[in-house]
Homo-oligomer: A and B are copies of this chain.
């Protein structure tokens, strides 16, 4: 099956080749885990490696912030915009929702102009401001997600999670609506805060089940080997497994 590659080799491997075209992919994490970085990398690699133009819908940060953040990884977003490969649209959930409902709205028009195939929505969490009613919110998010699909876009939707460590809750129904669900987590191991990436759900495809370590380098997200000899990684505060502890103390010494 055709795949929409993220261009992050190890992540594409975990996804058995990449995301599926025309799907909505949720990317959840605590502040600083690298959601926006991974999302920008998805867009940047799409343009530069696979010739798939992309949109960024931002509901809070100014485009300048994306220029700066991207620049710190050596990605020239201004240049890509000048080349009409990328458009950063600063909007609001209200406006973007209405816009997508009408024919020839700004998002549709822009997507068509640059031939966009990918979109980063940063972040889906801002939709919560539209209503206090979880049922209505779910319905709005569902419409929004489907509208992006109708435009032929493969979307990465970031989702904020307050919990630095601790229990993992899906928290809102977006996790049920999305076609895939990738979780970024902090993990404390040996007095260090490491980062974990996990593909929890991937509709229509197999995927890796292991919890991988990753880091943010000067080139962006780099997914590494899976954790070893730890129990309870997703709690954020794992225990070294008992048998490994014995081996550490008595055998490897």
> A242 contacts the other chain (Cβ, under 8 Å)?
yes
Bound complex: CA of A93 vs CA of B244, how far in Å? 52
Known: A163-B169, A164-B168. A32 touches B181 (CB 8 A): yes
Q: Bits for A64-97, please: 1 = Cβ < 8 Å to B, else 0.
A: 0000110010000000000000000000000000
Are B160 and A191 in touch, CB under 8 angstroms? no
- Contact stretch, chosen from A50-58, A112-120, A170-178: A170-178
Q: Which A residues are within 8 Å of any B CB, using their own CB? A: 30-32, 60, 68-69, 72, 128-129, 135, 142, 160, 162-171, 173, 175-178, 181, 183, 186, 188, 191-194, 198, 200-206, 209-211, 216-218, 226-228, 230-251, 253
**Residues of chain B with a CB closer than 8 A to A171's CB:** 162
**Residues of chain B with a CB closer than 8 A to A240's CB:** 231, 241-243
Bound complex: CA of A235 vs CA of B227, how far in Å? 20
Copies in the complex: 6
- Contact check: which of B68, B129, B169, B243 meets A164 at CB < 8 Å? B169
Bound complex: CA of A32 vs CA of B206, how far in Å? 11
Are B192 and A210 in touch, CB under 8 angstroms? yes
**Residues of chain B with a CB closer than 8 A to A188's CB:** 211, 231-234
- Contact check: which of B162, B175, B194 meets A31 at CB < 8 Å? B175
- The residue in chain B whose Cβ has the minimal distance to the Cβ of A204 is B72
Are B164 and A170 in touch, CB under 8 angstroms? yes
Known: A198-B193, A200-B164, A237-B234. A181 touches B31 (CB 8 A): yes
